Amino acid sequence: MSKMVDSTIKILTLISFLVLISQGYSQCSLSNLFIYQHPTGDQLKQFPEYHVDIINNCPNCVQKNVKINCPNFETVEYVDPSIFNVTDNVCLVNGGKPLLTNVNVTFNYAWSNSFRLTPNSSVISC
Ligand SMILES: *[C@@H]1O[C@H](CO)[C@@H](O)[C@H](O)[C@H]1NC(C)=O
Ligand SMILES: *[C@@H]1O[C@H](CO)[C@@H](O)[C@H](O)[C@H]1NC(C)=O
Ligand SMILES: *[C@@H]1O[C@H](CO)[C@@H](O)[C@H](O)[C@H]1NC(C)=O
């Protein structure tokens, strides 16, 4: 093997190593999706109102097609389906469009109790 080919192989090996490292550092997962909620203190038709913030905190990747477990979710307050689309027990966030880093997707709902909302799935896109 010539010296030139040999050093080219070394450089390529180094580059693929660095690519692997940087991918390792930039990878995020569903655990970077946070759902916070709190009562607003207001009432609608005598039902307490709740405020929901959904946040992707992955520093360098968006999360799209975000779905949230929302078993038995009900509300007397209108919730825009392009923000939170209630279908059976899984709700689609933001119409499937990307959640940018640390940009809250928010909505309010009102019911006799709050609902347990937990991340179901998302597509990470870096
Ligand atoms: C985003 O949501 C978090 C958690 O509920 C909240 O503390 C923060 O104030 C919200 N930010 C904006 C800009 O609404
Ligand atoms: C909400 O879900 C229904 C099906 O359950 C679908 O027909 C509709 O297009 C969805 N809307 C949005 C904004 O995702
Ligand atoms: C996502 O929702 C589906 C349909 O309800 C369910 O079978 C699955 O277990 C959920 N996954 C997670 C991680 O909650």
- Coil/strand/helix, residue 125: strand
Atom 9 of ligand 3, residue of closest alpha carbon: 120
**Domains, in order of start, for the chain:** 30-125 (2.60.40)
What would the pLDDT profile of 52-62 be if each residue is shown by its tens digit?
Answer: 999 999 999 99
- Report how far apart, in Å, the C-alpha atoms of 52 and of each of 2, 63, 126 are: 63, 18, 25
Phi, psi of 104 (to 5 degrees): -65, 135
* CB 34 less than 6 A from any atom of ligand 1: no
Whole-angstrom Cα distance, residue 8 to residue 38? Answer: 58
Phi, psi of 102 (to 5 degrees): 55, 25
Banded model confidence at residue 3, pLDDT cuts 50, 70, 90: low
Contact assessment for residue 91 and residue 73, using Cβ atoms and an 8 Å cutoff: yes
Whole-angstrom Cα distance, residue 65 to residue 56? Answer: 12
* CB 92 less than 6 A from any atom of ligand 2: yes
Q: What is the pTM of this model?
A: 0.85
- Report how far apart, in Å, the C-alpha atoms of 41 and of each of 30, 49, 70, 105, 107 are: 30, 7, 22, 20, 15
Contact assessment for residue 94 and residue 52, using Cβ atoms and an 8 Å cutoff: no
> Which amino acid is present at 79?
V
Instruction: Report the pLDDT averaged over residues 99-124.
Output: 98
* CB 100 less than 6 A from any atom of ligand 3: no
What would the pLDDT profile of 50-105 be if each residue is shown by its tens digit?
Answer: 999 999 999 999 999 999 999 999 999 999 999 999 998 999 999 999 999 999 99
Higher pLDDT, 43 or 9: 43
